[in-house]
Amino acid sequence: MAFDSIAQHLAEVRSQLDRTCGRLLTPSPEVLDQCSTDLEAAIRQLANCQPQLSSNTGDVDALAEAWHLRRTFLRARRLMESAATFHGNWVRVRGTMSGGYTPTGDPGPVLHHSRICLRA
């Protein structure tokens, strides 16, 4: 993908991350997997443009876009942390519901098996 400027490249990466943040507003396991892939792709794109970033230190537009991109990355990070916290808390609730409490007052352990058993 050819860009006229490094600022334009950074704006495209930021746009992709904005879409990722939008998907993280409903963080199902599938969405989290896709968002992890999206974040890895964004990191690769930034790594590929590192030489250009180093040589354009006086580019005011690129610097401004880099700050916008940083804020978007931080937003994506907060959203992913919130999703991880939610799902971690759900595992604790599920442990309490299925295993009660341990003698120390913590939720009982949840045994994760790789299969589902349904009874009709």
- In this prediction the pTM is 0.67
* pLDDT at residue 66, as a whole number: 85
Separation CA 86–CA 32 (nearest Å): 12
Those residues with Cβ within 8 angstroms of residue 39's Cβ, 6 or more apart along the chain or in another chain: 17, 20, 76, 80
Q: Which residues of the chain are modeled with pLDDT < 70? A: 1-4, 56-57, 95, 110-120
* pLDDT at residue 93, as a whole number: 78
* pLDDT at residue 71, as a whole number: 93
* pLDDT at residue 2, as a whole number: 45
Q: Could you tell me what percent of the chain has a pLDDT over 90?
A: 15
Cβ count within 10 A of residue 9: 22
Which three-class secondary structure string do you get for the chain? Answer: CCCCCHHHHHHHHHHHHHHHHHHCCCCCHHHHHHHHHHHHHHHHHHHHCHHHHHHCCCCHHHHHHHHHHHHHHHHHHHHHHHHHHHHHHHHHHHHHHHHCECCCCCECCCCCCCCCCCCC
